[in-house]
A = this chain, B = another copy of it.
């Protein structure tokens, strides 16, 4: 590294401002999250996922006509090439849903009518298409792996209701539809989270939308990112299997120096503002479905961890019980995260292309001091 002006950044680039962005505002001290300046609480209470997509992609709220048009386009794009279904049929039955999603989103580039274009208009089309297609892939693959018939999309339904229809084979209740709609709004964007950053690093070589989104999906898969809500639910399952008291179970985990997933956040020093709504939804859904168990586990553990560790629940903690109560299998929690986050990922890729610069940091070399020398094979110790 000698001779270069370099700044050593904190590990994991923590706190480093890697880019400017007009999409997502976070104030971690105050617990504020806003898309294009609008607070997440207002959006969760009053907006829809489709409107949130418009807000993220176009920078402001749509007019009535613009929203109608976008809803129409999202509904129209509820279609997949026949070969995508064939590929879902042909993956091994134990394939991880995130591996399937990553592979099929990469495959979608072959069939995208705008594949060879990389302008803003083409990328907005790809954003709409991918938002519809990812939801379809997640729902269809789950049915295919279970040996169930694929459910045809209903273009009259909202994005959330259509997803639940295609996943569960029946139209969801209004409560369930609204719960998923809110969950999709809450997960839609979160500034430079790891997967969005992976998408932007990929896009910044002037690669294409499908490459960037494929990177994001692969990155989201990791348990330190999208996988955390699955880890939360695995604890609930273990509690149920063992017949333990939730708090006693978590105490035993802590005694074994195990980390409890779903608590704390690198960015928020207060409650994660998304957790507020997910807690409420988890409670409402539990009551309306008669399955209050997962909410009760969640609440008991949250109260204990807050008192004992001074840690707040994050977005992952209450999404676990919410998703399960919606009939979503545990290993689909992360794919469902992608069903929402595709809106933010695509907004960030479009923004990256608008004012691009290659993202290429440096590493501090810590290997064998330069110069080592090449030793011919016959002179090496055997």
Residues of A bordering B, CB below 8 Å: 1-9, 11-30, 32, 34, 36-39, 42-43, 46-47, 59-65, 67, 83, 87, 90-92, 95, 99, 102-103, 106-107, 109-111, 115, 191-195, 197-198, 201-208, 210-212, 214-215, 217-227, 266-267, 357-378, 380-382
Contacts and interface: CB of A to CB of B under 8 A. Distances in A.
Contact of A9 (B9, B217, B381): B9
Contact of A214 (B12, B36, B102, B193): B102
Given A20-B364, A357-B11, A102 B370 contact: no
Contact of A366 (B12, B20, B266): B20
A312 B248 CA distance: 66
A87 B67 CA distance: 39
Most chain B Cβ neighbours within 10 Å, of A27, A195, A198: A198
10 contacts: A3-B27, A3-B30, A12-B359, A19-B363, A22-B368, A26-B365, A32-B370, A38-B374, A191-B363, A205-B220
A28 B6 contact: no
Contacts of A63: 380-382
A214 B98 CA distance: 13
A372 B106 contact: no
A292 to B, nearest CB: 31
B46 A366 contact: no
Contact of A364 (B17, B42, B99): B17
Contacts of A373: 38, 42
A362 to B, nearest CB: 5
Nearest to A35: B367
B198 A201 contact: yes
B194 A219 contact: no
B60 A368 contact: yes
